[in-house]
Amino acid sequence: MLNAIIHRKYNNPIDIQIKIFDNRITIFNPGELYGNITIEDLKRDDYQASARNKLIVEAFNLTGDIEKYGTGYVRIRKSIKEYPTMKFVYRETQGGYLAELSYENQKEYFKTDVLENVLEKDKENDLERLNRTALKSSLETEKSSLETANGSGINKKSSVKILKIIEHDPFITIPKIAELMGISTRAIDKNNESLKKDGYIERIGPNKGGHWKVIKYR
Mean pLDDT to the nearest integer, 95-109: 80
Count of domains observed in the chain:
2
- pLDDT at residue 19, as a whole number: 95
Mean model confidence pLDDT for the chain = 80
Quote the domain boundaries for residue 57. 2-106
- pLDDT at residue 116, as a whole number: 59
Same domain as 90, residue 50: yes
pTM of structure: 0.47
Same domain as 90, residue 116: no
* Cα 70 versus chain centre, distance: 30
Last residue of a domain, one of 50, 77, 106: 106
* Cα 68 versus chain centre, distance: 27
Same domain as 80, residue 122: no
Last residue of a domain, one of 59, 85, 106: 106
Mean pLDDT to the nearest integer, 206-210: 80
Residue 103 has pLDDT above 50, yes or no: yes
**pLDDT tens-digit series, residues 167-199:** 888 888 888 888 888 888 888 888 888 888 888
Whether the CB-CB separation of 191 and 154 falls below 8 Å is answered with yes
Q: Which amino acid is at 160?
A: V
Please report, in angstroms and rounded to a whole number, the separation of the first and last CA atoms in the chain.
60
Same domain as 159, residue 137: yes
Same domain as 99, residue 25: yes
Which CATH number is 30's domain given? 3.30.565.60
Same domain as 75, residue 100: yes
Same domain as 129, residue 84: no
Whether the CB-CB separation of 149 and 172 falls below 8 Å is answered with no
How far is 113 from 82, CA to CA, in rounded Å? Answer: 11
Which CATH number is 144's domain given? 1.10.10.10
